[in-house]
Amino acid sequence: MSELKESTKPAAKKSSKEWWFAFGVIVVATLLTRLYKIAEPEHVCWDETHFGKMGSWYIKRTFFFDVHPPLGKMLIGLSGYLTGYDGQFPFEKPGDVYENVNYLGMRLFCTLLGAATVPFAFVTVWELTESLEASFLASTLFLLDVGLITLNQYILLDPILLFFVMGSVLGMAKVGSQTYKEFSAQWYFWLVWTGVMLAGSISVKFVGLFVVLLVGLHTASQLWNILGDTSQPLTHVLKHFVARALCLILLPILLYVCFFYVHLKVLNHTGNGDGFYSSAFQSQLIGNSLHNASMPREVSYGAVVSLKNHRTGGGYLHSHWHLYPEGVGAHQQQITAYTHKDENNKWAIKPITEIEQDDKDEVQILRHGQYVRLEHMVTKRNLHSHKEPAPMTRKHLQVTGYGENGTGDANDVWVVHIDGGVKNQPVLTVTSKFRLIHHLQKCVLTTSGKQLPKWGFEQQEVSCNPNFRDKNALWNVEDNFSPKLPNVTVQVYAPSFWERFLESHAVMLQGNAGLKPKEGEVTSKPWQWPINYKGQFFSGNQYRIYLLGNPVVWWSNLGFLALFCSVYFFQLLRHQRSPEVRSHEHKKLAAGVWLLVGWALHYFPFWIMGRVLYFHHYFPALMFNSMLSGVIISYTLEAVKELLAEKVAFVIRHSLLGVFASSLAYSFYLFAPLAYGMTGASGNDPNSTMQSVRWLESWEF
């Protein structure tokens, strides 16, 4: 890569009019293809049910939990608010009709951001190669891909993410091509632009980290070349390093933190995501039972409490009338961890014979090392464990609800151990972290975080771990009702912004790790994505939208990727054998290398991810592949021009371009209904108008 150095002088442009004409054609065509039928279908499509709902929650300032950082959802909410949407539509499920709902503003906002990737691609390839032909070809591949149109036109995070990713790459290319303008206002503008775009990428989805890595590698390469320029003093290198550190490291970090600050300030009302967060975190949410609440500072026998697992994203100790199914341990009442507030989370702290009081009116505080029996308030059964394996974590023991109306046996007895506690230390509301150790089985109550099957309502497993050092075995009392004790305000537990910031990240990261395929859920594998093996429905039933790439674009992309690798390897061998050999097209090869790295960084990490994956995860990588295709096509056509006589080369060159352009245009015409809407019989029906374009059996439109 080092041999293929980037130019340090301004490009000798063919013609300003020619450049602007080509760019204008791309912009107009982009707007026409992206804005066409933007209001259709007039119902909720695919993940609009999630991100439209989250935008509504921002407008209503209602707190929620999501596995992604907040910027994308905040922008959706802001776009809805500015265009007159009131946040009242429920977005309950795909197919819900938008009746008297001003949803178009949010769709238009997402579509325009997604559409910007096409002219971004044009300018990026131009800055990398100074080839108008390569720029036009690359942006045309973006333009005529029906998959990108589908992904752009709805209320989703994907068009926002693609905008920031391409914006980052555009900034990277601009900074790299303007080394002759070092430290000028224009140079700093593009450096700041890149930092802002990087912050946006990582603030929409964590996969934005991949473009951060790409820009980081490109920046390191630039600094290495600057360090090798012995005509400049070391202070020059230091100035470059400081400028990049400020704009590409410090600025994105500050913006990222600011986005979270706004997120936590705006969402200040209680919502259905409260239970994923600690009790202290919840005390800051208006309407939450802990906000401005007052309850006893100490926990006593006879109190009715809710117990929250202290692990990040941990649920409340929960039970309900349903039993474990036959064959799953004892056929007794289920005990789970549930991440939402519920009446089934309430437990009464009862004494046992060894510590019963003589004076029933005297309040006895629960202390470190004392014995308790926990009685579920709704079902009146005791928290119980025995020598049966847990349903999911087989090395642990099963935890059940046992007994009738408070009666039970010795397997209902637990010992309270405050973390780091000493004898007679009282258990305090919210702040005390403690373990519940089973008196007979010598195991500790814990939650593995594993999701139970449908018979357990996909709640978290609760078990009893023989290993007392289990880090997930810590609990705290959240709600504490004890009329015999004086109340204090919960505001004393309020966490700082930084504590909430760090907890938010711990919850998000754990939530991402816990995204596993559900029973019956249709997912996809990374090997399927580049070959366009299978798409996914955005809208079903009568009006169908199907996310699938234009097969001519996708399959030719793979061919051009292989061609680039072959050409680049050949040029390396050629240079090794004959160092004096230099091709005037080295700039295109250098550009292609960075685009190849971008494709690899946005594709291969998914092979090692354990979370659930979908087809749309490939689209950032697709953009790099399409830009690479434009570069290698132009490089190949230039090679034809050099190898053949001028007239023959002219005919072959324009014939190849004509065939390729015609194939792209015709394939777009054939597959456009997948993006713009299909009606009638499905593609596998012989009478369907789409039957002729169902080239693979795995395409289900």
pLDDT tens for each residue of 419-464: 988 988 999 988 889 999 999 999 999 998 788 999 999 899 999 9
Backbone angles phi, psi at 387, to 5 degrees: -85, 65
**pLDDT at site 495:** 87
Q: Please check whether residues 403 and 509 belong to one and the same domain.
A: yes
Q: How many CB atoms lie within 10 A of CB 498?
A: 9
Q: Based on the fold, state whether residues 321 and 247 are members of the same structural domain.
A: no
Angle at the Cα of 275 (from 270 to 277), degrees rounded to 5? 95
Are 313 and 447 contained in the same domain? yes
Asked whether residue 147 is assigned to any structural domain, the reply reads: no
**Vertex 139, ends 133 and 142: CA angle to 5°?**
145
Confidence of residue 571 (pLDDT cuts 50, 70, 90): confident
Amino acid of residue 124: T
Q: What is the pTM of this model?
A: 0.85
* pLDDT bucket at 566, cuts 50 / 70 / 90: very high
User: For 557-583, what is the HEC assignment?
Assistant: HHHHHHHHHHHHHHHHHHHHHCCCCCC
Number of folded domains that form the chain: 2
Instruction: State whether 200 and 302 are in the same domain.
Output: no
Q: What is the mean pLDDT of residues 541-554?
A: 92
478 pLDDT more than 60: yes
Instruction: Give the mean model confidence (pLDDT) for residues 632-653.
Output: 83
Q: Higher confidence at residue 93 or residue 542?
A: 93
* Residue 488 covered by a domain: yes
Is 299 part of a structural domain of the chain? Answer: yes
Q: What is the C-alpha to C-alpha distance for residues 241 and 243, in angstroms, rounded to an integer? A: 6
Give the Cα separation of 477 and 464 in Å (integer).
19
Reduce the DSSP state of residue 386 to 3 states and report it.
strand
Q: Which residue has the higher pLDDT, 385 or 542?
A: 385
The token duo for 538 is 């955005």
Pairing, β 460-465 against β 536-539 = unpaired
Lowest mean pLDDT among 165-169, 312-316, 359-363, 579-583: 579-583
pLDDT over 80 (residue 582) = no
Does the pLDDT value for residue 491 go beyond 80? no
Are 46 and 91 a contacting pair, CB within 8 Å?
no
The model's confidence at residue 220, banded by pLDDT at 50, 70 and 90, is: very high
Tell me, yes or no, whether 377 lies in a domain: yes
| pLDDT band, very low/low/confident/very high, at 6 (cuts 50, 70, 90) | very low
**pLDDT confidence of residue 572:** 80
- pLDDT exceeds 50 at position 414: yes
Q: Based on the fold, state whether residues 361 and 424 are members of the same structural domain.
A: yes
Residue 154 — left, alpha, or beta (φ > 0 → left; ψ -120 to 50 → alpha)? beta
| pLDDT score at 140 | 97
226, exposed or middle or buried, with CB in 10 Å at 0-12, 13-18, 19+? middle
Q: Give the best-scoring range by mean pLDDT among 312-321, 382-391, 538-547, 680-689.
A: 382-391
Assess if residue 207 is contained within a domain.
yes
Q: Which stretch of 25-29, 153-157, 210-214, 489-493 has the lowest confidence by average pLDDT?
A: 489-493
Phi/psi at 121 (5° precision): -65, -40
Task: Measure the CA–CA gap between 362 and 280, rounded to whole angstroms.
Answer: 30
Asked if the structure places residue 401 within a domain, the reply is yes
| Domain of residue 385, CATH code | 2.80.10.50
- What is d(CA 74, CA 615) in angstroms, rounded to the nearest whole number? 25
Does 355 lie in the same domain as 224? no
φ, ψ of residue 75 to 5 degrees: the values are -65, -40
Query: Span 144-162, mean pLDDT?
Result: 96
pLDDT tens-place string over residues 9-20? 444 444 688 999
List the structure tokens of 299.
């926990």
Q: Is the peptide bond before 159 cis (omega within 30 degrees of 0)?
A: no
Is 356 a residue whose pLDDT tops 70?
Answer: no
pLDDT of 109 above 70: yes
Confidence class of residue 471 from pLDDT cuts 50, 70 and 90?
Answer: confident
Structural domain of residue 205, as residue ranges? Answer: 158-267
- Structural domain contains residue 133: no
Among 513, 541, 574, residue at a domain's last position: 513
pLDDT of amino acid 12: 43
Q: What is the pLDDT of residues 237-272, one digit of tens each?
A: 999 999 999 999 999 999 999 999 999 999 999 998
Distance CA 221, CA 529 (A): 30
| pLDDT of 1 over the 80 cut | no
Q: What is the pLDDT of residue 520?
A: 59
What integer is the mean pLDDT of 62-83?
Answer: 95
Q: Which of 486, 513, 540 is the last residue of a domain?
A: 513
One domain for residues 164 and 298: no
Position 419 in a domain = yes
* pLDDT score of 9: 44
In the predicted structure, residue 312 carries a pLDDT above the cut 80: no
Q: Does residue 359 register a pLDDT over 60?
A: no
- Is residue 383 domain-shared with residue 501, that is, in the same domain? yes
* Model confidence band, residue 586 (pLDDT cutoffs 50, 70, 90): confident
Share of residues in the chain with pLDDT > 90 (%): 65
Q: Are residues 262 and 299 in the same domain?
A: no
Burial 277-290 (b: 16+ CB within 10 A, else e): bbbbbbbbbeebbb
CB 13 within 8 A of CB 97: no
pLDDT at residue number 406: 64
Do both 200 and 309 map to the same domain?
no
Beta bridge mates, 176: none
Same domain? For 203 and 304 the reply is no
Q: Are residues 248 and 350 located together in one domain of the fold?
A: no
- Range of weakest confidence among 36-40, 216-220, 288-292: 288-292
Percentage above 70 pLDDT, the chain: 94
**CA nearest neighbour of 203 among 167, 155, 179:** 167
**The pLDDT of residue 640:** 79
25: helix, coil or strand?
Answer: helix
3-state helix, strand, coil in the chain (%, to 5): 50, 15, 35
CA distance 626 to 680: 33
Tell me: pLDDT of 657 over 50. Answer: yes
Element (H, E) at 657: helix 646-676
Burial (Cβ within 10 Å: 0-12, 13-18, ≥19) of residue 495? middle
Residue 405's pLDDT is what? 66
Judge whether residue 580 has pLDDT over 80.
no
pLDDT on residue 97: 93
